[in-house]
Amino acid sequence: MILLNFAHALTEDHLRQIEHLTRQKVDRVVGIPTQIDPQQPLVPQVVALADACGLSSAEWQTLPLLVNPPSLNFIAVALLAELHGRMGYFPPCIRMRPVAGALPPRYEVAEILDLQALREEARKRR
């Protein structure tokens, strides 16, 4: 599985947690620095973020991909729309959460969100 990381760097412990939750090995982590210029239009910047992953059209559609989305909500939602267009489905995403009481602050993998399954279930509520 290839992990597309649009957020903070992941530790070895995070990768172990991800492998445990997904029951798949993380073969490669592609780190994409996610800085945008708030004075410029967002969409072209999001397209550039997806392009920075370096995947071909066929790879977007066939490789097992997992996404750690950016923290900033408007970047995350635009990026998910872009990735859906390239992949043909919503990618599974990592949800991180703070470790309670940790000093200094630390984060752990809370769950893997199956966005495609969420979409399919939501369609039943139309």
Residue whose token pair is 């993380």? 26
Q: What is the pLDDT of residue 32?
A: 97
Q: What is the pLDDT of residue 56?
A: 97
Q: What is the pLDDT of residue 105?
A: 92
Number of domains in the chain: 1
Q: What is the pTM of this model?
A: 0.94
Q: What is the pLDDT of residue 29?
A: 98
How far is 92 from 110, CA to CA, in rounded Å? 13
Spans of the chain, pLDDT less than 70? none
| 37 secondary structure, DSSP code | -
For the chain, the distance separating the N- and C-terminal CA atoms, rounded to the nearest angstrom, is 33
> What residue numbers bound the domain in which 89 lies?
2-123
The length of the chain in residues reads 126
Q: What is the pLDDT of residue 79?
A: 98
Q: What is the pLDDT of residue 120?
A: 95
